[in-house]
């Protein structure tokens, strides 16, 4: 079981922002921006390549709600997903990184 599945089950603690039946948003343990939240589906898909389009559509609505709660919806934010080895993906459970809370440098994650 990957670490995100353990977070979903409540076996590993997390700082939750929002949750519904399908998705969970929680703060990244090693933030790369003033606000750095991870958004995951509760059903495990390895990466973006595997994600069903209908789930991605509902996830978009959820993410906008998370951005609104965090107060960055209108100021702006960055949404990133790493895929595979070259993408630098560490955890094989699809997730978006939602970053914001200040002006982000485009090279800050390179």
Binding positions for ligand AMP, rule: CB under 6 A: 3, 12, 14, 28-30, 38, 82, 88-91
Nearer to ligand AMP, 74 or 100 (CB): 100
Nearer to ligand AMP, 28 or 65 (CB): 28
We find the least distance from the C-beta atom of residue 29 to ligand AMP, in angstroms, to be 4
Nearer to ligand AMP, 74 or 90 (CB): 90
- Tell me if residue 97 is catalytic: no
> What is the three-state SS of the chain?
CCHHHHHHHCCCCCCEEEECCCEEEEECCCCCCCEEEEEEECCCCCCHHHCCHHHHHHHHHHHHHHHHHHCCCCCCEEEECCCHHHHCCCCCCCCEEEEECCCCCCCCCC
Q: Kindly name the residue from 27, 36, 95, 97 that is annotated as catalytic.
A: 95
Question: What sign has the CA pseudo-torsion 88, 4, 68, 50?
Answer: positive
We find the least distance from the C-beta atom of residue 75 to ligand AMP, in angstroms, to be 22
We find the least distance from the C-beta atom of residue 17 to ligand AMP, in angstroms, to be 12
State the catalytic residues.
95
């Amino acid at each position: 079981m990957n670490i995100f599945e353990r977070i979903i089950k409540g076996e590993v603690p997390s700082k939750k922002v929002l949750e519904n039946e399908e998705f969970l948003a929680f703060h990244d343990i090693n933030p790369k921006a003033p606000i750095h939240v991870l958004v995951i589906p509760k059903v495990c898909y390895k990466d973006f390549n595997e994600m069903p389009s209908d789930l991605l559509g509902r996830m978009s609505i959820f993410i906008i709600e998370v951005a609104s709660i965090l107060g960055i919806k209108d100021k702006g934010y960055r949404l990133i997903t790493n895929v595979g080895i070259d993408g630098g993906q560490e955890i094989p459970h699809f997730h978006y990184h939602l970053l914001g809370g200040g002006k982000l440098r485009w090279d800050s994650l390179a």
